[in-house]
Amino acid sequence: MSHYVRRDDGRPLDSGPPLRKTRTMAKDRLTLRAQFDMAADLYQRARPDYPEELYRTLMDVTGIEGGSRALEVGCATGKATVPLARRGVHVTCVELGAELAAAARRNLTGYPGVTVITGAFEEVPSSGQPFDLVYAATAWHWIDPEVRYHRAWGLLRERGHLAFWSATHVFPVEGDRFFADLQEIYEEIGEGRGDEEVMPRPGELPDSRREIEQSGLFDVIAVEQFDWEVEYTADAYLDLLDTFSNHIAMESWKRERLHSEIRRRLAQRADGMLRRHWGAVLHVARRRDQPHLR
């Protein structure tokens, strides 16, 4: 089961990554980004669906409708493509992973207005016809920060929109203690959280509005937070973990130790289930026709 709570308290949060990345960080990002193709078979069933209210907000704020043209960055298997395609939006999907792109084509065969391109967003050629919307669902942070805003700006029509969001683990006060208790196992296998990592509450995720404004290319017009809950069996939760880049890259003995402990602990619960809370920050920005570049 799942539910969501829409949140928009207007607080000026900011977690935008610095615009300058070191060469090592860029290399790590590219390496982890490529890992997802290894989980193509799991991605569609394991990753959570985003709340319907998020899509309604996206449509309302941007004004896109049936017949509008959108480009999706990093569509994976098409989870965030279907809700727009179902509304009649013509979506061009760009997916780096060949296996993920193939899965997206299978999942989207019922939508003739959808095209899936295998390649990197940074390098995809322009079709010559600008888009009404460029959007990314749990993919924007994988794009080179030196390129992503300039690339989106160049693909959009005048006063077109950029939108992005990511599904993130959030921890309500009354939430499931399973994840906090499991940290001792992560520490044991050398995969513990860093001292600076936090366990954010719903509605308190940092946002990237400052980074958007600093690009000089877009005006932020909406930042809204959503949260929802999903219940998992042991098998379903392990499938989910196996779609995360850090878990895909984990050494086999670490993964086996972690998985066995998760199964053991959930078997001790009467229903064998855990509750994971998700949060997402929807950013919507409008293209500046006259960029303010610094």
Q: What is the pLDDT of residue 140?
A: 97
Q: What is the pLDDT of residue 237?
A: 97
Alpha carbon distance 191, 185 (integer Å): 8
* Cα angle for residues 158, 142, 262 (degrees, 5° grid): 135
Alpha carbon distance 100, 82 (integer Å): 15
pLDDT below 70 — which residues of the chain?
A: 1-39, 195-196, 294
Q: What is the pLDDT of residue 3?
A: 36
Q: Which two tokens stand for residue 186?
A: 């992560």
Q: What is the pLDDT of residue 40?
A: 72
Query: At the top level of CATH, which class does the domain 4-171+198-231+276-287 belong to?
Result: alpha beta
pTM recorded for the entire structure? 0.85
Q: What is the pLDDT of residue 33?
A: 47
Alpha carbon distance 93, 71 (integer Å): 6
Q: Which two tokens stand for residue 103?
A: 């899965």
Q: What is the pLDDT of residue 4?
A: 37
Q: What are phi and psi of 188, to 5 degrees?
A: -60, -40
Q: Which two tokens stand for residue 9?
A: 């308290």
Q: What is the pLDDT of residue 27?
A: 46
* Cα angle for residues 15, 196, 284 (degrees, 5° grid): 15
